[in-house]
């Protein structure tokens, strides 16, 4: 008989302060405001970018979130990523983003515009979950990181996409594969002469170079250095 139901006690005190009808109306206004804010953020993310540069409050900047376009370009080329306007992004945005952007705008007393996103190429065509990063430009080639979500990229991605960095890396990879296959032939067929091995090596180079470039052409792919900021699929 002396047990205290904390929920009932809270409800009793609440009902003395505000009626259930007024409380529902208050909660409805809160939800309506959140939905309006979310819709406003969505409209800015799908809008095409202009030349506008965001003005952020210097004292409130987090220097760990400021990156120059050269660093962004270098990372995109290394891991075969794209850095494009958000209106081209086809993935899903995380729910917390619709709170992070208004909070950041309030902190810097501004309205953020011209969002850009760094992500794997397929995120601009397919829905997947891999490490997108959302930026806004702040002038002089610098960008401010607004939010990062999803799963981290695998570190070995750099090595998987390295052959497609540029034409030189693709040729080098073809030569390396040719050398490896020739060495394997020498181990399997120990009676091959040096001349025969050299001929096999040259033939392998021509074969691998032809195959890699032919596949790139057939699949309509391009090199990392060409696509990192390209809005076109290939």
Q: How many CA atoms lie within 13 A of 215 on its CB side?
A: 9
3-state secondary structure of 100: helix
Residue of 218, 211, 228, 48 lying closest to 121 (CA atoms)? 228
pLDDT at 16 over 70: yes
Backbone angles phi, psi at 151, to 5 degrees: -95, 145
Quickly state the pLDDT bin for 1 (edges 50, 70, 90). low
pLDDT category at 8 given cuts 50, 70, 90 is confident
The DSSP annotation for 23-54 comes to: HHHHHHHHHHHHHHHHHHHHHHHHSPP-S---
Res. 108: pLDDT tops 90: yes
CB 132 within 8 A of CB 89: yes
32 pLDDT tier (thresholds 50, 70, 90)? low
**Tell me: the pLDDT tens digits for 167-189?**
788 888 888 888 887 777 777 77
**CA 30, CA 201: separation in Å to the nearest integer?**
71
Question: Measured in whole angstroms, how far is the alpha carbon of residue 1 from the centre of its chain?
Answer: 59
The angle, 0 to 180 degrees and rounded to 10, between the axes of the packed helices 20-46 and 97-108 is 80
The set of long-range contacts for 153-158, using a CB threshold of 8 Å and a minimum separation of 24, is 153/79, 153/120, 157/79, 157/80, 158/78, 158/79
Higher pLDDT: 147 or 177? It is: 147
163 or 143, which is more confident? 143
Q: Both tokens of residue 182?
A: 């020739």
**What pLDDT, on the 0 to 100 scale, is given for residue 72?**
92
Query: How do residues 119-132 score in pLDDT, each as one tens digit?
Result: 887 787 644 555 68
| pLDDT tens for each residue of 208-232 | 777 777 766 655 577 777 776 666 5
Which of the four pLDDT bands, split at 50, 70 and 90, describes residue 199?
confident
Give tens-digit pLDDT for 62-103.
Answer: 999 999 999 999 899 888 888 989 988 888 888 899 999 999
Evaluate whether 110 touches 55 at the Cβ level (below 8 Å): yes
């Amino acid at each position: 008989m002396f047990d205290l139901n904390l929920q009932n006690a809270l409800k009793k005190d609440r009902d003395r302060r505000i009626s259930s009808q007024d409380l529902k109306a208050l909660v409805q206004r809160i939800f309506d405001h959140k939905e309006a804010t979310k819709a406003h953020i969505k409209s800015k993310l799908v809008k095409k970018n202009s030349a506008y540069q965001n003005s952020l409050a210097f004292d409130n900047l987090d220097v760990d979130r400021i990156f120059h376009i050269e660093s962004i370009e270098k990372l995109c080329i290394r891991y075969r990523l794209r850095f494009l306007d958000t209106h081209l992004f086809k993935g899903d945005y995380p729910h917390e983003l619709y709170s992070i952007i208004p909070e950041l705008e309030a902190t810097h007393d501004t309205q953020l515009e011209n969002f850009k996103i760094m992500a794997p190429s397929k995120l601009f065509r397919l829905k997947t979950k891999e490490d997108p990063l959302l930026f806004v430009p702040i002038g002089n080639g610098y960008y401010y990181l607004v939010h990062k979500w999803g799963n981290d990229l695998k570190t070995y991605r750099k090595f998987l996409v390295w052959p497609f960095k540029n034409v030189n890396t693709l040729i080098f990879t073809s030569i390396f594969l040719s050398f490896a296959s020739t060495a394997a032939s020498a181990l399997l067929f120990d009676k091959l002469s040096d001349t025969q091995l050299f001929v096999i090596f040259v033939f392998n180079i021509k074969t691998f170079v032809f195959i890699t470039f032919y596949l790139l052409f057939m699949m309509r792919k391009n090199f990392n250095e060409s696509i990192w900021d390209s809005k076109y699929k290939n």
